Amino acid sequence: MAPSDFESQFEQPLHRLGDVVAGRYHSLPERLEDRYEVSETSLGSGANGDIALACSKSDRTKTFAVKTIYFKSVEGFDQWKMLVKQFEVALMVAHSNVVGLVDVYETDESLHFVMPHLEGGQLLEYSDAPRIAHGHAVNIARQMLLALTYMHDMGIVHRDVKPSNFVFEDCRRDQLKLIDFDLSTQLKAGNAKLFYGCGTPGYMSPELLTGQGYTEKTDMWSLGVTLFRLMVGEMPFQSDEVPDQDKVDKLLASLGAGIQHDALHFLAKLLNTDPTLRLSAQEALHHPFVVHGQQHPEMVQCTSQSMRRYRQSGACHSRAGCRERRLRQRPRRGTLSCTKPCVEMEQMRLLQEFDAEHKRTVTPAVPVQHKVARARWADLEDCV
């Protein structure tokens, strides 16, 4: 085929994107090799393409990651539609916590995605990495939520949220970015749920696994599993397991003193098997764990007696309430006996306020009585 006769496989998404593309899409006679020098250094591989290190021919100090997808490797209608969605989503996104595209090159045989080269490495550098500190987990969770809030506000469902899809921008390891849109799709107006099953075993939500249909809340379950892995140091469920709420509650209760209360409460809000009760990304950004978690990385320990009284009354009035407690002399009138406020009790107050506010804004859905066994092909075409 002569270059002048070249027809793009992506005319429809390019038309929908319009000015968003902003000169980043290139087709024959333009080629990747005109502007970039691709090395033999492999940076990894995705579900349907390999990623290589490249540099700009105009400035060899600038490095990039080039993902190449060969059309002959795309098998079947579903895989092709997912590639089209990946193409569109990758060109749409532009956020400090989401990796975007620098350029896209299309030829007769392949598609090349040119992305920034993220040199900081994956969030978990090896599979048996130990759990991370509380303060670090707060910062990580906040950046993950900023990425997902942005994606969900645009109607994009990532569908593969997991540690390996979060990469640090550089060696300082302070700026985190969400990557890999191989499985991403968009919730169209009028499509209340998606039904196409995809994701990574161990991270997929119960509603996705059981075929009952899912929304962007499936990403929030995956985020809960990801943060559990980071903060506890192990996976919460088996890869082939579909946990029920009783299983989740018992698991979180078993963690005991090994994890701080605000973090435990946060995980419980993400790992809710009812997606209507699960936090959205925007709601999760306002959870006390994210907002206040770094203010007190080390908690003041309280006795079970004082915590029981606190839960009953909403405040600590006990002179024997905290281990880090009363002055030896008689306290002044109108003051508590603690030398300083109990941080954990303040944390409990914030969590109670968050729960009360969340209950006012959430209406649980009617329980689904039957799994969706089959759907019309016409319905599934727009749900991949």
Q: Give the pLDDT of residue 324.
A: 38
User: Where are the alpha helices (H) located in 192-301, listed in sequence order?
Assistant: 206-209, 217-232, 245-254, 261-270, 281-284, 288-292
Q: Give the pLDDT of residue 125.
A: 84
Q: Give the pLDDT of residue 363.
A: 58
- CB count in 10 Å sphere of residue 94: 12
Q: Give the pLDDT of residue 380.
A: 38
Q: Give the pLDDT of residue 189.
A: 73
Q: Using 70 as the pLDDT threshold, list the residues of the chain that sit under it.
A: 1-4, 46-47, 190, 294-343, 363-384
**Residues 147-198: tens digit of each pLDDT:** 999 999 999 999 999 999 999 999 999 999 999 999 999 998 767 899 999 9
CATH: 2.30.29.30, 3.30.200.20, 3.40.630.30, 3.30.300.30. Which one for 7-116? 3.30.200.20
Measure the CA angle with vertex 74, ends 69 and 78; round to 5°.
125
So what's the architecture of 121-294 in CATH? Orthogonal Bundle (1.10)
Q: Give the pLDDT of residue 313.
A: 47
Q: Give the pLDDT of residue 365.
A: 52
**Residues 99-116: tens digit of each pLDDT:** 999 999 999 999 999 999
d(CA 167, CA 177): 5
Domains 7-116 and 121-294 alike in fold: no
Residue 382 annotated in active site: no
Q: Give the pLDDT of residue 292.
A: 86
Domain ranges of the chain: 7-116, 121-294, 304-360
Q: Give the pLDDT of residue 364.
A: 54
State the greatest distance between any 2 C-alpha atoms of the chain, in Å, as a whole number. 93
DSSP class of residue 314 equals S
> Locate tokens 């954990």: which residue?
344
The residue annotated as part of the active site, out of 103, 160, 182, 219, is: 160
d(CA 44, CA 217): 28
Find all residues with CB under 8 Å of 249, minimum gap 6, and list them: 268
CB-based contacts of 4-8 (< 8 A; 24+ apart in sequence): 6/108, 8/106
d(CA 146, CA 143): 5
Whether the CB-CB separation of 176 and 332 falls below 8 Å is answered with no
